[in-house]
Structure 1
Amino acid sequence: MSLHQTTITAATVTTRRQRANADNAALATTAKRDQSDFNHKAVKVLTAKGFRRSTIAATLELSERSVRRYQSTQCLAWDAERAVELRRISIAATLGTVRFQSDDDVEWEDMMLGARGDTRASVFDALKEGLSQADIARLLGISLPAVSRHVKEIARRRLAKSQAEKFNENHLTY
């Protein structure tokens, strides 16, 4: 092997090592950020449940200073979960069906509420309350065209029902 080939090989090995070190550093940074995000959300959850700062610090193996910092700063993951929960409560309150359920019950109900009949019934109830289609879309978390389709179907069914009743009144004699 010549001196030139040895230099190229050594440079290649050095470059590969640098890339591997950079990849490892990126992975370590990502893992550290994920751990920090987890701790931040955990502090918010435990604080909301009424745990004291010293208990949270001991449980998560953090300093009380870190817990105080997490408590005083915004946590996007926690805020997003709270927004979903508050929206669910708002919908239930608007429709007059406030229920307190376990997480498993909520998950099952969310899965079951995906059925069109339940959504259509929710749209109909909201229409009876006098809400606009845009408000209903925001409230139920569905698109405006979806609300429009439900409203059209509700109107079609009510029209068909009233026409059938009129027909029965005019043509059926007992």
Structure 2
Amino acid sequence: MASGFKINKQGIRQMTREIEREFAKNPVRVPLQADSTGVHLPPATTVNNYNGPVVTITGDHAQVAWNNHDVTQSRETSEQVAPGYEELADIVTRLLASLPSLTLDLDDDTEALATSETILREVVKTEPDRGIVKRGVTMLKGLLAPVSSGVSKAVTQESADLARQMIESLGNALPS
């Protein structure tokens, strides 16, 4: 620095903080239009979040990580199934695992998933509402019927057999 000029590093840090504070209050938004012709990207599987909180919410539980560098968040819960509903819970759990191979259409698949989760939430209560469980089982059997009879699109012999077995097992698993 032959000219006698000296950089004021403290002044630069203060100015940087003030600018960052202003941008935090008034973020700059720029509308973009992308030309995606000829671009075929795979769906994103990883989300990187820099300089901000990461909140993971499952049901009524939340986990927060903020400025922690590498973070692994997980949660395990185990609930006791009400007596007499163990077999039904097992069958519904197996049905959930088998849903992708049953080739249900999107609406039926979504409904089967929601109904299965409703049944599983009910059977872990100390006194499950038999009406809710029975309606759920009836709904699942109705959703599986087109697959078991082979009238649903893209039905294979294996998926039809699996659907028939699930319908029979669901009917037999209801406690009397």
TM-score class normalised by the smaller sequence? under 0.3
Structure 1-normalised TM-score? 0.27
Return the structure number with greater helix share.
1
Return the structure number with greater strand share.
2
Larger radius of gyration: 1
